[in-house]
Amino acid sequence: MKKLLIVDDEKSMREFLAIVLRKEGYYVAAVADGESALRLLEQDIFDLVMTDMKMPGMDGLALLRAVKQTSPRTIVLMITAFASTESAVEAMRAGAYDYLTKPFQIDEVKLLIKKALDHRHLVEENHRLKEQFHQLEGFEQLIGRSPGMQRVLELINKVADSNSNVLIFGESGTGKELAARALHLRSRRREKPFVTINCSALPEPLLESELFGHMKGSFTGAVSNKEGLFEVAHEGTILLDEIGDTPAAIQVKLLRVLQEKEFRRIGGTKDIRVDVRVIAATNKDLEKAIAEGAFREDLYYRLDVIPIHLPPLRERREDIPMLVEHFLGKYGRTGPVPVTGLAPGALRVLSAHEWRGNVRELEHLVERAVTLATGPLLTPDLLTACLQRPDSSASSLITERLPPDGLDLESVVGQLERKLLLQALERTGGVKKKAAQLLGLNFRSFRYRLEKYGIKRGRDEDGDEEESTSSNGVSGGERTP
């Protein structure tokens, strides 16, 4: 049910509009002035506000600007008996969707409201479809003829149309997000949003705000009302990636959503009901985490209705040729010369590798080898050279011994993390997405770490490079070329 807010100092007008629009199936609230309207907007998110232009106290234009600041996605329609071209242009520039002049026909009002809501729906649907289109890229990576992958694909097909919660287990790089997306795209919810969030990438306050939303002024930095991802995913699917790293307080709130199908925004006073299918993913042993008191047992059983285990690449080496063929189709023409296949002996090199990074590691290897290739085939020597990278494990990076007097562990780890972030940006020419991949991080987690250490540098794929500045006083000598 769409929520409308009528603001008019004429009692007869606002009551008439409220009665008519409620009969049209809308939830309608009606108030006499802008101040009362703002108080309601601080408690709830309305789809559309219809306000009179001339009112005592706060006028319609002032309310329009306040609405756009408090709730940017809310549509605003202006009504006035004092029509002028100047006021209409001013209202449209301030963000009004359209303009009505008194007296008006009630059918005109109904049509305009429907048109405005349909327009917003189309804009959001177009954005969602674009996102879905980009999400489909790489979906074919969830392929394989091995018995383990065939069991996974059969289970996905069998349970995709169910509303039951799913818990996906698997090592990093095995394709947990791809499996979740496959479940969504093969379900009856496929036309609705598919929303993902990495529960390990954000600190607790930001994670709570992302999941459940907040009201303006509920905490420092909450400059407008914000819908949470559970609201965004209504009637669709939400993927809670790395669920094993969720803070205890957030686990309690997630349990309520799973049990009651409702939650409350930060600073909100109303419970919001949602219809969302929840898929969780983890590379951790949750039963061990339960035994250690790090994960709630009741939340685990709510999530683990349908478990799906993704096998690591070392347990399905027969899928390597098919995966290489796919990645060559993706990257084969991005290097200095087109690359179309593997030279004799190359497959033996790939099959003998340990693949601790699983399919993601294989993809990065193919991309790297294509960039360095001098002919149409990837040779055994080239692949061996690409695989023989310096040991990037934590043990090889930490060479210092514990001093006799001890040390500040957080400071040492922070210095090491910051140094590696800067090195990754330097190696990738400042491209943040590639630097995140180099460190095995998703983009959001990488960006959070840059902000954490005050690193303002690098660029997105097509963006301009930012200047290298740091709250820690790092000199320009660390700047990305």
- Per-position DSSP letters for 189-201, written without gaps between them: TTTS-EEEEETTS
Task: Using pLDDT thresholds of 50, 70 and 90, give the confidence band for residue 85.
Answer: low
The domain spans of the chain are: 3-123, 141-309, 313-387, 408-478
The per-residue pLDDT for 405 is 66
| pLDDT above 90 for 379 | yes
Mean of pLDDT values over 473-478: 34
Question: Mapped to the 3 state alphabet, what secondary structure does 79-116 carry?
Answer: EECCCCHHHHHHHHHCCCCEEEECCCCHHHHHHHHHHH
**Of 243-247, 345-349, 383-387, 428-432, which gets the smallest average pLDDT?**
428-432
Same CATH topology for 3-123 and 141-309: the answer is: yes
What b/e readout covers 32-60, taking b as 16+ CB neighbours within 10 angstroms? bbbebbbebbbebbbbbbbbbbebeebbb
| pLDDT above 80 for 51 | yes
| CB distance 159 to 183 below 8 Å | yes
The per-residue pLDDT for 477 is 35
The per-residue pLDDT for 402 is 65
CATH topology assigned to domain 313-387: Helicase, Ruva Protein; domain 3 (1.10.8)
**Of 122-126, 168-172, 209-213, 383-387, which gets the smallest average pLDDT?**
122-126
The per-residue pLDDT for 437 is 81
The per-residue pLDDT for 129 is 66
The per-residue pLDDT for 292 is 93
The per-residue pLDDT for 212 is 94
Task: Using pLDDT thresholds of 50, 70 and 90, give the confidence band for residue 133.
Answer: low
454 closest CA partner among 403, 413, 418: 418
408-478 has CATH 3.40.50.10470 classification: no
The per-residue pLDDT for 275 is 95
> pLDDT of 250-301, one tens digit each?
999 999 999 999 999 999 888 999 999 999 999 999 999 999 999 999 999 9
Mean of pLDDT values over 8-19: 90
CATH superfamily of the domain spanning 141-309: P-loop containing nucleotide triphosphate hydrolases (3.40.50.300)
Amino acid at 469: T
| CB distance 383 to 373 below 8 Å | no
263 closest CA partner among 189, 198, 208, 194: 208
Contacts 24+ apart (CB under 8 A), 202-207: 202/444, 202/448, 204/247, 204/249, 204/250, 207/246, 207/247, 207/250
Mean of pLDDT values over 8-22: 91
| pLDDT above 60 for 474 | no
Mean of pLDDT values over 328-349: 91
The per-residue pLDDT for 122 is 84
| CB distance 167 to 295 below 8 Å | no
Q: How many CA atoms lie within 13 A of 249 on its CB side?
A: 9
Indicate the CATH number for domain 3-123.
3.40.50.2300
The pLDDT > 90 percentage for the chain reads 49
Task: Using pLDDT thresholds of 50, 70 and 90, give the confidence band for residue 442.
Answer: confident
| pLDDT above 50 for 479 | no
Contacts 24+ apart (CB under 8 A), 377-381: 377/339, 377/340, 377/341, 377/342, 377/343, 377/346, 378/339, 378/341, 378/342, 378/343, 378/346, 379/343, 379/345, 379/346, 380/343, 380/345, 380/346, 380/348, 380/349
What mean pLDDT value characterizes the chain?
A: 84
State phi, psi for 268 to the nearest 5 degrees: -85, 165
| pLDDT above 60 for 307 | yes
